[in-house]
Structure 1
């Protein structure tokens, strides 16, 4: 056990750097993906057929393709079109698309959960459809969607471990590199797992707290 802690102390700075990179990719993917997901949800609910079908196509591609395939497409596939991305850039592009596709359905479900009677009442008072969406539907629908969105943010953080496949030096990649150099895979991966838990457990508790507040 003492040997484990001694090794952990020497590995921790390297693994910590990988954790910070994983959190950075997560933050960037959410920063881009959430607003895009919101607009996609509005597009899917639009009356215009062309806009609705275009939004649906993006959503189905993002949800239907595994995150690992999206990562490899962005990193290995796009260069054939002349667009070369770093592993960091490719990670953000791929995970932002995945985030947008999945969160668009979460947001749409939240918006559509607002009772139709409230929409009709708002329109009956003379509010436009845009104002009804802005002041009646969105405040309630987004509040309903927030716990699920926070839960999905944790999932995206965990998904950053797949970026190992495109040589991004995130947490899992750093742990594997340590294992390769020292042949101590189990301690290195165990320590990486503890760092993931250090983030995910408090985040899960936060989601539960927000969910309890949102339902009261």
Structure 2
């Protein structure tokens, strides 16, 4: 046990660097993916049947395709189309696309949860449809969706581990690198798991706290 702790102290700086890469990937995926999800949520509620069906089809394809498959398609597909991007950029794009597909349903549920009487009140005040969306529906819909979006943020952070398959030096990739050098795979993977837990457990508590506070406020 003492030897394991000594090894952990030695490996921790390297794994911490990988953790920072994982956090950056998750942050970029959420930063660019959630606006995509909001756009898809709005389009999927369009009165135009063709536009609505296209949006729904994109969401279903995005949700049905495993994140690993999307990652590989982006990583190998972009260079094949003539675009030269780094592995990190490919990983961020792939995770953002997956984020957009999943958060679209979360946000659509939030938008649908806005009381119709408040929409009618906006119309009664002479607001246009765009103004009602901008000032009434979207702000409140996002507020309703916050706990679920925060919960999804944990999932997408965990999904960053998939990017080790395209040689991004995130947490799991660095753990495997240490394991390959020392053959102590179990020890280093336990440490990597603790690093993941150091992020996901406190954030999970924050999600629960936010859900209670918003439930009390919105109730």
> TM-score of the superposition, structure 1-length normalised?
0.95
Is the 8 Å Cα contact of residues 75 and 84 (structure 1) preserved in structure 2?
no
Q: Paired residue for 2:84?
A: 84
Q: 1:81: how far off?
A: 1.8
Q: Paired residue for 2:9?
A: 9
Q: Paired residue for 1:214?
A: 214
Matches within 5 A, 1:61-76: 61-76=61-76
Q: Paired residue for 2:101?
A: 101
Matches within 5 A, 1:1-216: 1-216=1-216
Q: 1:126: how far off?
A: 2.0
In 2, the alpha carbon distance for the partners of 1:136 and 1:60 equals 27
* Deviations, residues 152-184 of structure 1 (Å, cap 9, x unaligned): 011100000011111111101111111111100
Is the 8 Å Cα contact of residues 74 and 85 (structure 1) preserved in structure 2?
no
In 2, the alpha carbon distance for the partners of 1:84 and 1:139 equals 37
Report the 3-state secondary structure (helix = DSSP H, G, I; strand = E; otherwise coil) of the residue aligned with 1:189.
helix
With 80-89 and 161-170 compared, the bigger mean Cα shift is at 80-89
* Deviations, residues 115-173 of structure 1 (Å, cap 9, x unaligned): 22322232233221112222222232111100000110111000000111111111011
Is the 8 Å Cα contact of residues 41 and 107 (structure 1) preserved in structure 2?
yes
> TM-score of the superposition, structure 2-length normalised?
0.94
In 1, the alpha carbon distance for the partners of 2:113 and 2:139 equals 12
Q: 1:47: how far off?
A: 1.7
In 1, the alpha carbon distance for the partners of 2:67 and 2:104 equals 16
* Deviations, residues 87-111 of structure 1 (Å, cap 9, x unaligned): 1011011000000111111011000
Report the 3-state secondary structure (helix = DSSP H, G, I; strand = E; otherwise coil) of the residue aligned with 1:46.
coil
| Unaligned runs of at least 5 residues, structure 2 | none
Q: 1:78: how far off?
A: 2.7
RMSD: 1.3
